[in-house]
Structure 1
Amino acid sequence: MAQQPEAGRRAPLNRERVLRAAVALADENGIESLSMRRLAQELGVVPMALYKHVPNKEQLLDGMVDTVIARIDVPEGGTGWKDVVRRRVLSARRALLRHRWAAQVIESRTGPTPAVLEYLDSMIGAFRDGGFSVDLTHHAMHAMGSRLLGFSQELFDDSGNAAPSGGAEELAAGAAMAARYPRIAELAAGAAHDSTSTVGRSCDDQFEFEFALDLILDGLEKLHQRGWTSAGAGAPGAT
């Protein structure tokens, strides 16, 4: 029996297949490489065939975000709110580390996508089921910010904090920088750990992320135990 032509064996095009291919393309080549034409080439179809499933580039990006967020693990029941939140946030971080472009795309959306809304709703539920008031939950969500989705914007990028190569101009520039901003220089020097440090030569992103996450969760736990309210704390606009 003659083999079927390649087109006959190709899986039918649907929204899920389009989104999977888009995620894979962004993973391999970066989000900047993604276009409807390039995606159509990857799928072996004409660009117009995509628009039945994703009407435009923005909806394609929304769908890609939802594909990534849907892969965040849901912790099994029977654990306290703090453990549930921590494990889910770290699961979100693992998902975003597998898809390095995702944080940038999430931040570019004009509003949360359906999967993000569902995820945030479940995180609010974790606080509320843990006994948090609506008031404290509201402030907890603000404090957690993008960490809920596994990423945070860092104040400093210390990727360039390696020791100078020794060139005269570079050494002079480094000395001038340190003289003008001594406290930044002090902090940068303190972050340049030796190779035996558990943190590494410079700041370890995962360590710093978990450090901040635990600070926030520990603080929220103390506020919850105290029965904290924004009105009692004298929040602006409180009555």
Structure 2
Amino acid sequence: MLEAAIRVADRGGAEAITMRRVAQELGVEAMSLYHHVPNKDAILDGVVDVVFAAIELPDAGCGDWRDAIRARASSARSVLSRHSWALGLVDSRRTPGPATLRHHDAVLGVLRRAGFTLPMAAHAISLIDSYISGFVIQEVNLPVMTPDEVKEVAGGILENLPADELPYLTEMIVDHALRPGYDYTAEFGYGLDLILDALEARRK
């Protein structure tokens, strides 16, 4: 049932998750779902837990806390990019499931064992998760994804851009965005490393 609800949300967003639509996805009557869940909220709680279960837990035995958190952040970005509708749900549920709780505990454990004070661990989680969520929102809404699309869109902007009036934007497009190998998604790792380095400096 939860996988069916996720398929519904992948097509139409979280607001598309209704008892009727989930039932249609399963090929059953909506009333039959109430034999398994009490209401729609239970389904929403469940799909959030499934999303968290798909995110890689940080490796507790990793020698460098930054490597563990970096791997977890990359996994979270990958999962949330596939299910971007979940961004509005993951922090809104009042009854988190076991996978969600296990995930948060594992992240906290990596930070606490690395020497972060409890307040600093809270700051770190808030900062890292806000960065992941913000990047995913920006990424899924970009009008370009492939190099050809970048070339087409950036080239179109450049055609109508008064280079003498907007020299820095022109420079960014010509000498950065249109250069071979440009990939906006690579910015994720760069920004994440800046955050992790800053947290390391304040770790103790």
When the two structures are superposed, what TM-score results if normalisation uses the length of structure 2?
0.74
2:43 is equivalent to residue 64 of structure 1: no
Give the number of the structure whose alpha-carbon radius of gyration is greater.
1
Distance 1:138 1:199, change over 3 A: same
Q: Which residue of 2 aligns with 1:218?
A: 197
Corresponding residue for 2:114? 130
Aligned residues: 189
Contact 1:85–1:123 (8 Å) recurs in 2: yes
Q: Deviations over 1:96-127 (max 9, x none)?
A: 122232223335x2547233333222111111
Equivalences for 1:113-128 in 2 at 5 Å?
A: 113-114=96-97, 115-128=99-112
**C-alpha distance in 2 between matches for 1:62 and 1:186:** 50
| 3-state secondary structure, aligned to 2:8 | helix
Identify which of 152, 155, 165 aligns with 2:134. 152
Task: Name the CA distance, whole Å, in 2 between partners of 1:211 and 1:89.
Answer: 12
Describe how 1:1-239 pairs up with structure 2 within 5 A. Answer: 18-76=1-59, 77-106=61-90, 109-111=92-94, 113-114=96-97, 115-147=99-131, 150-152=132-134, 159=143, 162=154, 163-164=156-157, 188-189=169-170, 191-192=172-173, 193-200=176-183, 204=184, 206-224=185-203, 227=204
Counterpart CA distance in 2 for 1:32 and 1:189 is 40
Structure scoring higher RCO (CA < 8 A, sep ≥ 6) equals 2
SS at match of 1:38: helix
SS in 1 for 2:57: coil
CA RMSD of aligned residues (A): 3.3
Contact 2:68 2:110 in 1 (8 A): yes
Return the alpha-carbon distance in structure 2 between the equivalents of residues 48 and 89 of structure 1: 39
Query: Residues of 1 paired with 2:93 and 2:58: CA distance?
Result: 29
1:73 Cα deviation after fit: 1.7
Letter in 1 for 2:31: M
The alpha carbon displacement at 1:50 in A equals 1.1
Report the identity percentage.
Answer: 37
Do the aligned partners of residues 110 and 65 (structure 1) sit closer, same or farther apart at CA in structure 2, a change above 3 Å counting?
closer
CA contact (8 A) 2:58 2:110 kept: no
Query: Post-superposition shift, 1:66?
Result: 0.9
C-alpha spacing 1:33/1:191, structure 2 compared with 1 (3 Å): farther
Q: Which has the higher helix share?
A: 2
Report the counterpart of residue 237 of structure 1 in structure 2: none
Q: Check 1:79–1:47 CA distance in 2 against 1; reply closer, same or farther (3 A cut).
A: same
The answer as to whether partners of 2:14 and 2:85 remain within 8 angstroms in 1 is yes
DSSP 3-state at the match of 1:196 = coil
Distance 1:188 1:165, change over 3 A: closer
CA contact (8 A) 1:21 1:42 kept: yes
Displacement, 1:62? 1.9
TM-score under structure 1 normalisation?
0.65
